[in-house]
Structure 1
Amino acid sequence: MQHRISAVTLNQAMPRISEEDVQACRHRISVFLAAHTAYELLPESGKVVALDVNLPVKQAFHILSEQGIALAPLWDNCKGKFVGVLSASDFILILRELGNHGSNLTEEELETHTISAWKEGKAYMNRQVDGHGRPIPKHLIYAGPCDNLKDVALKILQSGVAIVPVIHSSSEDGSFPQLLHLASLSGILKCLCRYFKHCSGSLPVLQLPIYAIPLGTWVPRIGESSSRPFAMLRPTASLSSALNMLVQARVSSIPIVDDNDSLLDIYSRSDITALAKGRAYTHNLNEMTIYQALQLGQDSNTPYEMRSQRCQMCLRTDTLLKVMEQLANPGVRRLVIVEAGSNRVEGVVSLTDVFRFLLG
């Protein structure tokens, strides 16, 4: 049953937002981001995990799961440089390929199939060619420590990646590169919130409720049409259906709801690494439910209903600044917009949504 917005909600007075206020907000934020650099994102201490391109895919899968991360830059020792990123999306594509009867990649090949071989095969399947029919190589998208934060944010938005490695080289030819950090929209947003939190009164747009701003993806109201359906699934749906939806709908997460469309949990691309536990990826993904897949990433003693606490939620009446502060927390990439009391899903707002709005 698709959730419909209540009459009370429909009759809420829509706060007015002027184009002048929006442009003033965007200008101040752009000026701030242009005046600060990626170097300021570096923590005082921490670690960054990188993977060798010659590692078997299976081993890389387990490393990401054990480290609790969804992606890692790739190092090519022969070339002496970082050449790409291995992400949860790669594992989703690998598992979907394993599930195809006509797949060229067998389960046994995961033991020896290297990251490099997988990336080359993926590039061949999705290749762009020049006028002579030769593949156009894809270059690693990265930032230098002196790049300003606006440029870093635009790189992330325009390339559709979750992070860009911050790489420094003391040589003019780029040799002996050092991986300093993984820059994300979350880290950039944290800088914004820290600066504008105490002067948000001068930017009225930040005090507007998110339903008054063209922000996020919403469940269509009665009589409304949508360019793409809002993705939601029941916990009893198969894991393969969730993986297909993540790829086909081009979303990073799917709200998991009950029969009343109330939020129970959320399945994200990063949850795919939990399948490394107990070699769960060798199971038939059509027979594994989303509920079972999510249990792999949780303590077995944790009740299912308590897992909803890991879902980051907000209300349609929350201000843009409040939503920004929630999204600035480490590991949070999107908030599920729910109805107060019932927790029925009304929409999703992501880091990408916020930055596309703020940067125009």
Structure 2
Amino acid sequence: MAEADASAAGPLNEPIPGLSPSASTPTSTQAQQSSPAFVAPSDYLRPRERSHVSKSRGPMSPLDHEQLDGLRAIREFLKARTSYDVLPLSYRLIVFDTALLVKKSLNILIQNGIVSAPLWDSKTSTFAGLLTTSDYINVIQYYWQNPDALAQVDQFRLNSLRDIEKAIGVQPIETVSVHPLQSLYTACRRMLESRARRIPLVDVDDETQRAMIVSVLTQYRILKFVAVNVKDTQNLRKPLRDIDCGTYGNLQTATMETPVMDVIHLLVKYSISNVPILDSEGGVVNVFEAVDVISLIKGGVYDDLNLTVGEALLKRSEEFPGIFTCTLNDRLDSIFDTIRKSRVHRFVVIDEDKKLKGLLTLSDILEYHTVVAAVVAAAYYATLAA
């Protein structure tokens, strides 16, 4: 990453939770795997001096003004910095040719601890989209609907993914991209509009006028860049219960006894990336993530799809860091502090009894800062001007 904290850069492609070779503290028992460590953002929050306090503007409270000032500072920062600014000084980028076998691409992802890779069509010398976990889930769906086609599935190439998508009636592979010199704000809006959690950076060669894949930008990398460089995040002191950020209704859940394929169907049907796992009393005990599917089909073996969720989660690496939780009393300043210190992709919102209240994803946080807060601020200042 090009900011002052060079150590925050990390590897370019997003690691697979539980498959990263660089993780540390191992756990080995079934109980530990079934009941992962819970990490609350307030555990990371340390007292810091506030950058400034806004003067009162009308009927809003000082806390409201601070919140608006913090949100405005973040939006201005995103508009002033480009995607190039987020990239580390050196990194490795893995790009797949569309002629590669799907089975081989899966093994490469696992070996390198990543969950996505840009696609390149060597016949036309063009960018062909981004391969993600969703594409492998589509292959699983196809296999489940056509159990006699295992030999055919093993011969699928990446350029045949569109045929699979048509066969099972799902959205096509992500092809959205952004130029690396465009603002981070533009990259965020492009991701939100396409519901993508990462976006390739594609430049154009001045001499050949051909596309060049520069990198892949993730929501986590953007938010960590903000957390490291924008001190005004400490002004975001309104609790989650008082802001429009997160999902708190119509949540899809499962139990440890739920068949894995039932959860995969939920991921596809509702276009979600995770399903909270609850106990018999409704308490959160784990989260089944889309990336957990990767470890179940490595080597092209699909037998593990018959497992229950509990059995499948036992196949996670001992280095799986656990799930991150927060409550409705937590604030975005502590959320950003957690993002600054830990690789996190979502927060499970729980109450004091660990009962599920909602989900707070990185998409929710990006949308709140780039869309929702801007609308609220515009409405407020329009009222003052009236």
TM range (shorter): 0.7 to 0.9
The equivalent of 1:62 in structure 2 is 107
* Partner AA of 1:293 in structure 2: A
Assess if the C-alpha contact under 8 Å between 1:255 and 1:266 holds in 2.
Answer: yes
**How far off its partner does 1:117 sit?**
1.3
**How far off its partner does 1:236 sit?**
1.0
Are positions 1:193 and 2:193 aligned together?
Answer: no
**How far off its partner does 1:28 sit?**
2.8
- What CA distance in whole angstroms lies between the structure 1 residues aligned with 2:147 and 2:260? 22
Deviations 1:203-262 (A, max 9, x none): 4xx1111121111112xxxxxxx5xx2111111100011001111222211111211222
Query: In the superposition, relative to structure 1, how do residues 264 and 104 fare at CA in structure 2: closer, same or farther (>3 Å)?
Result: closer
* Partner AA of 2:363 in structure 1: T
- What CA distance in whole angstroms lies between the structure 2 residues aligned with 1:44 and 1:330? 21
Alignment counterpart, residue 116 of structure 1, candidates 154, 159, 162: 159
Give the secondary-structure state (helix, strand or coil) at the position aligned to 1:266. strand
Query: In the superposition, relative to structure 1, how do residues 85 and 34 fare at CA in structure 2: closer, same or farther (>3 Å)?
Result: same
Are positions 1:274 and 2:295 aligned together?
Answer: yes
**How far off its partner does 1:18 sit?**
8.1
* Partner AA of 2:138 in structure 1: L
Structure 2, unmatched stretches of 5+, are 1-59, 372-386
1:303-314 equivalence runs, <5 A: 309-314=321-326
Alignment counterpart, residue 230 of structure 1, candidates 251, 258, 262: 251
Alignment counterpart, residue 182 of structure 2, candidates 147, 153, 157: 147
Assess if the C-alpha contact under 8 Å between 1:277 and 1:296 holds in 2.
Answer: no
Give the secondary-structure state (helix, strand or coil) at the position aligned to 2:177. coil
- What CA distance in whole angstroms lies between the structure 1 residues aligned with 2:330 and 2:190? 29
Query: In the superposition, relative to structure 1, how do residues 59 and 296 fare at CA in structure 2: closer, same or farther (>3 Å)?
Result: same
Assess if the C-alpha contact under 8 Å between 1:25 and 1:358 holds in 2.
Answer: no
Deviations 1:103-162 (A, max 9, x none): 39811112221110122442577599xxxxxxxx98832122211100011111111111
Deviations 1:167-199 (A, max 9, x none): 333326632x443321111111112222333x4
1:292-307 equivalence runs, <5 A: 292-299=311-318
Are positions 1:91 and 2:110 aligned together?
Answer: no
Give the secondary-structure state (helix, strand or coil) at the position aligned to 1:298. coil
Assess if the C-alpha contact under 8 Å between 1:107 and 1:282 holds in 2.
Answer: no
Alignment counterpart, residue 183 of structure 1, candidates 206, 210, 217: 217
- What CA distance in whole angstroms lies between the structure 1 residues aligned with 2:62 and 2:126? 48
Are positions 1:345 and 2:356 aligned together?
Answer: yes
Q: CA RMSD in A?
A: 2.8
Assess if the C-alpha contact under 8 Å between 1:166 and 1:179 holds in 2.
Answer: yes
Give the secondary-structure state (helix, strand or coil) at the position aligned to 1:188. helix
**How far off its partner does 1:46 sit?**
2.3
The equivalent of 2:238 in structure 1 is 208
- What CA distance in whole angstroms lies between the structure 1 residues aligned with 2:159 and 2:303? 22
- What CA distance in whole angstroms lies between the structure 2 residues aligned with 1:253 and 1:143? 26
Alignment counterpart, residue 251 of structure 1, candidates 272, 283, 303: 272
Equivalent residue pairs, number: 312
**How far off its partner does 1:326 sit?**
2.5
The equivalent of 2:332 in structure 1 is 320
Assess if the C-alpha contact under 8 Å between 1:56 and 1:112 holds in 2.
Answer: yes
The equivalent of 2:56 in structure 1 is none
TM-score of the superposition, structure 1-length normalised? 0.78
Assess if the C-alpha contact under 8 Å between 1:327 and 1:351 holds in 2.
Answer: no
- What CA distance in whole angstroms lies between the structure 2 residues aligned with 1:216 and 1:70? 24
Assess if the C-alpha contact under 8 Å between 2:130 and 2:173 holds in 1.
Answer: no
Query: In the superposition, relative to structure 1, how do residues 112 and 324 fare at CA in structure 2: closer, same or farther (>3 Å)?
Result: same
Give the secondary-structure state (helix, strand or coil) at the position aligned to 1:296. coil
* Partner AA of 1:194 in structure 2: V
Q: Greater relative contact order: 1 or 2 (C-alpha under 8 angstroms, separation 6 or more)?
A: 2
Structure 1, unmatched stretches of 5+, are 1-14, 129-136, 219-225
Q: State, as a whole percentage, how many aligned pairs show the same letter.
A: 22
